Structure 1
Amino acid sequence: MGSQINASAAPFSSKNLGIEVARRSVTFHPSVWKDYFLSYTSTMTEISSHEERELQRLKEEVKKLLAVTPDDSIHKLDLIDAIQRLGIGYHFERETKESLQYMYDTYRESCYKQNEDLRTIALRFRLLRQQGYYVPCDVFNKFKDQEGKFEESLVSNVRGLLSMYEAAQYGVHGEEILEEALKFSTFHLESMKNNSREISAALEMPIHKSLTRVEMKKFLSIYQEDESHDDVLLKFSILDFNLLQKMHQNEISEITRWWKALEFCEKLPFIRDRAVEGYFWILAVYFEPQYSLARKILTKVIGMASVIDDIYDNYGTLDELVLFTNAIESWNINAVDTLPSYMKYFYKSLLDVYVSIEEELGKIGQTYRIHYAIKELKKLVWAYLEEAKWTYSGYVPTMEEYMKVELVTAGYMMLCTTSLVGIQEHVPKEAFYWITSEPLLILASSVICRLMDDLVGQEFEQKITAVDCYMNEKGVSKEETFAVLRKEIANAWKDINQECLSLTTIPMVIIERVINITRVMNLLYREEDAYTNSKTKLKSLVISVLIQPVTIESYFHL
């Protein structure tokens, strides 16, 4: 890696007026959490035997409910939808898979029944597509008039309109009817959002792009207000959320102690102190109890990657960054002697973290996985170096040059690969070959990550963004550039949808990791960089998911 800079390129004068200053520096706000999570102890987060028994009792009740509800009924569709949105779908994977398989096998027969309404058809379509079943979208033609437009009478069917809006999020390239459905439903729902919390929440963040733990809290009150809600399901989801929250609190306490012991904030005062935010990020990738080891590993890796990002973007001189990149490429403790003092400590810590990860993998007989994690980290820093060369030289690359490098610096290729490293269930080696080959699913995720980051960071980033490159290459306005890049993001979501339907040989557990990583980006980089500026939106999300339990009294008026 590390191609030569094109000396004939146009200078990037607007952002490099101070380029003669060797060391850049940005001041980030300190952690909003300080030592808050250090106060959590194993005693505070302990799950009692009574709570475990009650959870198991309610789980069996929900299983019975699933068993007695006919697969060909709207009640089964609603039940599966509620289970998934309440964040308890991982308890009932076998039962829901069997029901969805039946719905897939009888899809045509069911959709063309005369009494099938818009809401039922759209809900079935969404549940199947989000599970990776390809079902045709022509079933929505029955709701068009003779002129080929959606019937105006649908506007009064609010639940059907909302269901169609959510279903249309799963469209792929060429499905024009879903494009029309999305425009039609969005237009009419916009006029209703002030009178409906459910519509407002959907327009802000559709189900397809939502994070399970965040969605659960939003959906809980909506579900409770639904007259057809099931009390057992409601109680089970509340208890499950609270017990998982205790597990997560125990983990974040452990992560906070690890981070504090590294003393990075004292030794490297130019970095973002975002250990808690990093854990929230990874919790969104996998919140289920069986992924505890994977969460801890990936949180530590994202913490180290965040420091590396700050070294390349905000502090290191170009000469230092060349030395640092070569040291990481060598992956040898002896390379520490070539580094400036502030890099020495971090480099040793970086190697130590990966050694500890390898030791953890040894306990589950999967040490070979560390090779893929290190390889992706090396690829990441080489791309960071190329990016730094552009900044220091004042070179504005073409969009093609930019995206080739910046899809790597987005970090999602590294994160997606490393997300598989700590999964204790079976992950075939072929999955690592696939995910490191930069398949379309990973590239599309990286496009979303990179462009969303650039759209919100263009005003304050001390480096070149896609906005700069496109404006420079095409000679267009910022408004036109933003419109083009947002279209690229929408197309990348269609690529993701397409891949989820076609990657039949890749386990869903892997595909879900990639999509969840994309969803995190979609949440944290909408309208602002919530990771860097974590005092606002992200702080509220951490409080909701990691601090505030759900009080059952609020929903049952006890």
Structure 2
Amino acid sequence: MEAYIEIQAPACAVSVENIDQPKRRSANYHPTIWGDFFLSYGSNVKENNSSKEAKEHQRLKEEVRKMILGTPNESWKKLDLIDTIQRLGVSYQFETEIGAALGLIYKDYDHHDSEYDEKFKQENGNELHTTALRFRLLRQHGYDVSSDVFKKFKDPEGNFKESLSTNTRGLLSLYEAANYRIHGEEILEEALNYSTSQLEKMLPSLDNLLASQVKQALDVPIQKALTRMRTRQFISLYQEDKSHDPSLLNFAKYDFKILQKLHQEEVSGITKWWKGLDCPKNIPFARDRVVECFLWIIGVYFEPKYSVARTRMTKVIALASILDDLYDVYGTVDELILFTDSLDRWHISELDGLPEYMRPCYQGLLDVCSEIETGSSKKGKKNPANYAISSVFNKLFLGLF
């Protein structure tokens, strides 16, 4: 018997048009809500800079410095002052003074814990507050302090003492301290649950100022807060506090305003750079979130000395966001393999071999790396940014294949 093999034509032929223009996915990202809002900030900042403002800022800074140096390390007032300065967002101006003070506090704390506690108790009568505040400040600054200091606030049955239940300030400090717990610290886990429960119970009966502080802490504790947003909130709360120090408050206001102007100038420049890429036209599939990327970097470092780093890192992260959408949503497998190989070779000559829509992404990466290298070279520093960043992107996306 003769065998036959029947060969059938495919149900539908694949056209050249379908190959050249593959079906693309879309995440339907909403457009940016900012538009050109930040473009005008650059000129406004320069117009509003005031030498008189700068002089007053410097004068108040020296007053606060004297305040720090003039407050004894053995006093609970030093702890409160450091905490207030940190919450007002100006501790970066006094890193040396605060670092030295906390170093001495830790040294005495480590060797004379009971003496410190007794002295603080006699001074302000709120041992829970000072113990928790000291613990938190030292942990914030990287000191290895034991959570055993909170054992004395427990009764023989292992519960927190009943007398603590009405100590709002102490409970608030305990709550903030407990958020700096590490794995396995059961007493701080218990402290967090206890302080949270007690603060929630007393919240309706607190005065407006204290209620605002407690609600803010319960929503987002210091350990998890975005520094600059919390700073703006605390300046308003501190102003309402009748015991506030006028010089410290005014210094914080000046400092916030000056730093805000710097951040506005930065985001204006970044927005101009981003508009130069013309993402809605050239890269329509990607998220337009450059302002959000800038906010992210401010959460990492907001200080003036990191101004250049903020701008550069925002650009890098914004481009990484585009690449994320390129790999996750828009590109085909063949295109992405091609793009990944180009990242590996990292040279401008690779542009011609890439699909048209990929070229702005690749060019943007090359330009940012070149900008970083040029800036570093002007300062006499060796900074192989092209190699470093290309290596990071290559390792990040090569793992997808």
Q: Match of 2:62?
A: 60
- Residue of structure 2 in register with 1:23 after alignment: 24
SS of aligned partner of 1:192: helix
3-state SS in 2 of match to 1:36: coil
Residues 400-423 of structure 1 deviation map (CA, whole Å, 9 limit, x = unaligned): xxxxxxxxxxxxxxxxxxxxxxxx
Partner residue of 1:487? none
Q: CA deviation at 1:369?
A: 4.6
Deviations 1:342-372 (A, max 9, x none): 1123212221221111111212233335133
| Aligned match for 2:318, one of 280, 283, 303 | 303
Aligned to 1:226: 241
- SS in structure 1 opposite 2:143? coil
> What corresponds to 1:42 in structure 2?
43
- Matching of residues 289-300 of structure 1 within 5 Å: 289-300=304-315
TM (norm. structure 1) is 0.63
Corresponding position: 1:329 with 2:344: yes
Q: Which residue of 2 aligns with 1:208?
A: 223
| Cα pair 1:171 1:179 within 8 Å, conserved | yes
In 1, the alpha carbon distance for the partners of 2:24 and 2:202 equals: 52
Conserved? CA contact 1:328–1:378, under 8 Å: yes
The aligned counterpart of 1:376 is 392
Name the counterpart of 2:15: none
Deviations 1:491-534 (A, max 9, x none): xxxxxxxxxxxxxxxxxxxxxxxxxxxxxxxxxxxxxxxxxxxx
Larger-gyration structure (1/2): 2
| CA positional deviation for 1:152 | 2.0
Q: Give the drift of 1:191.
A: 2.2
Residue 140 in 1 paired to residue 150 in 2? yes
Q: 1:75 aligns with which of 67, 74, 77?
A: 77
Partner Cα distance (1:335, 1:373) in 2: 17
CA distance in 1, matches of 2:329, 2:203: 42
Partner residue in 1 for 2:104: 102
Q: Note the alpha carbon deviations across 1:293-315, whole angstroms, 9 max, x for none.
A: 11111011011111111111221
**Which structure 1 residue ranges, 5 or more long, are not aligned?**
1-20, 387-558
Alignment partner of 1:87 is 2:89: yes
What does the per-residue CA deviation read over 1:41-91, in whole Å, with 9 as the maximum and x for residues that have no partner? Answer: 335444211011000000011011112111111111110001011110011
Deviation at 1:175, TM superposition (A): 1.4
- 2: CA distance between counterparts of 1:129 and 1:369? 35
Aligned 8 A contact 2:88 2:235 in 1: yes
TM-superposed deviation, 1:330 = 1.3
Secondary structure at the aligned position of 2:376 is classed as: helix
CA 1:312–1:251 in 2, change beyond 3 Å: closer, same or farther? same
Query: In the TM superposition, what are the counterparts of 1:325-364 in structure 2 within 5 Å?
Result: 325-364=340-379
Aligned mates of 2:341, 2:316 — CA distance in 1: 19
Structure-2 separation of matches of 1:64 and 1:28: 52
- The one of 159, 174, 178 aligned to 2:184: 174
- Give the letter for the 2:250 counterpart: K
Which residue of 2 is the match for residue 32 of structure 1?
A: 33
Map residues 122-521 of structure 1 onto 2, 5 A cutoff: 122-194=132-204, 195=206, 196-370=211-385, 371-383=387-399, 385-386=400-401
Is residue 359–residue 367 contact of structure 1 (8 Å, CA) maintained in 2?
no
How much has 1:374 moved relative to structure 2?
A: 2.7
Quote the Cα distance in structure 1 between the aligned partners of 2:162 and 2:83: 27
| % identical aligned pairs | 52
| Cα deviation, residue 188, structure 1 | 1.5
CA distance in 1, matches of 2:195, 2:137: 18
- Answer 1 or 2: higher relative contact order, Cα 8 Å, separation at least 6: 1
Q: For residues 270-325 of structure 1, what are the alpha-carbon distances to aligned partners after superposition, in whole Å with 9 as ceiling and x for unaligned?
A: 11111211111112211111111111110110111111111112211122111111
Q: Residues 462-494 of structure 1, C-alpha deviation per residue, up to 9 Å, x if partnerless?
A: xxxxxxxxxxxxxxxxxxxxxxxxxxxxxxxxx
Range with greater deviation from structure 2 (38-47 or 150-159): 38-47
What is the alpha-carbon distance in structure 1 between the residues aligned to residue 133 and residue 114 of structure 2? Answer: 11
Tell me the SS of whatever aligns to 1:124: helix
Compare 150-159 and 125-134 and name the one that shifted more: 150-159
Residue identity in the other structure for 2:38? F
Change (3 A) 1:130 1:376: same
Are 1:192 and 1:199, in contact at CA under 8 Å, matched by a contact in 2? no
The 3-state SS of whatever aligns with 2:43 is coil
Q: State the SS of the aligned residue for 1:41.
A: helix
After superposition, the C-alpha distances for 1:188-235 in whole angstroms (9 at most, x for unaligned) are 222234551111111111101112111101212222233322111100
Following superposition, the deviation at residue 263 of structure 1 comes to 1.2
- Counterpart CA distance in 2 for 1:152 and 1:379 is 56
Preserved contact between residue 86 and residue 237 of structure 1 (Cα < 8 Å) = yes
1:181–1:369 CA distance, 2 compared to 1 (3 A): farther
Which amino acid counterpart does residue 103 of structure 2 have in structure 1?
Q
d(CA) in 1 for partners of 2:224 and 2:371? 34
The SS at the match of 2:141 is: coil
Q: Following the alignment from structure 1 to structure 2, what is the Cα–Cα distance between the partners of residues 313 and 367?
A: 35
Unaligned runs of 5+ in 2: 1-21
Q: Distance in 1 between matches of 2:244 and 2:233?
A: 15
Partner of 1:96: helix, strand, or coil? helix
Following the alignment from structure 1 to structure 2, what is the Cα–Cα distance between the partners of residues 276 and 301? 13
Could you say if the C-alpha distance between residues 373 and 344 of structure 1 is closer, same or farther in structure 2, counting changes exceeding 3 Å? Answer: closer
- Structure 1 window deviating more from structure 2 (305-314 vs 223-232): it is 223-232
Q: CA 1:135/1:326 → structure 2, altered by over 3 Å: closer, same or farther? A: same
Between Structure 1 and Structure 2, how many residues are aligned? 365
CA distance in 1, matches of 2:271, 2:147: 47
CA contact (8 A) 1:165 1:181 kept: yes
User: Which AA in structure 2 matches 1:375?
Assistant: S
